């Protein structure tokens, strides 16, 4: 049996803009909006593409792994003594 524990948490926030082209938005403008071959704008575009590919890979992993996942059920505690019952032999005769 193959067991694979998976936990992913990405908590990075990036606030960046190009000093020469402060209105460039890689989400809206894309690669064609880069003016003059600006290296900072290319880096912003590459960062945006990397985030999109990471999100796509995560969605694809969840889609493919879903048929083999099991929902964990709480343990059956019927054999454990109930808290309202006193221990055996503690009642007066």
Q: Is the residue at 25 inside a domain?
A: yes
| Average pLDDT of the chain to the nearest whole number | 82
What's the total number of domains in the chain?
A: 1
Q: Estimate the share of the chain in helix, then strand, then coil, as percent rounded to the nearest 5.
A: 40, 0, 60
Q: How far is CA 52 from the centre of its chain?
A: 13
Helix H or strand E segment including 55: helix 39-65
Closest CA to 20 of 7, 4, 36, 8: 36
Q: What is the mean pLDDT of residues 52-59?
A: 92
Which range has highest mean pLDDT (6-10, 21-25, 61-65)?
21-25
Q: Is the residue at 22 inside a domain?
A: yes
Q: What is the mean pLDDT of residues 24-44?
A: 92
Instruction: Please indicate whether residue 18 or residue 74 has the higher confidence score (pLDDT).
Output: 18
Q: Is the residue at 72 inside a domain?
A: no
The predicted model scores a pTM of 0.63
CB 27 within 8 A of CB 48: yes
């Amino acid at each position: 049996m193959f067991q694979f524990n998976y936990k992913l948490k990405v908590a990075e926030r990036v606030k960046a803009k190009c000093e020469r082209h402060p209105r460039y938005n890689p989400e809206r403008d894309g690669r064609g909006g880069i003016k003059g071959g600006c290296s900072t704008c290319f880096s912003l575009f590459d960062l945006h593409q990397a985030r999109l590919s990471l999100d796509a890979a995560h969605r694809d992993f969840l889609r493919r792994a879903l048929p083999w996942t099991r929902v964990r059920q709480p343990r059956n505690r019927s054999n454990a003594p109930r808290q309202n019952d006193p221990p055996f032999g503690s009642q007066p005769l």
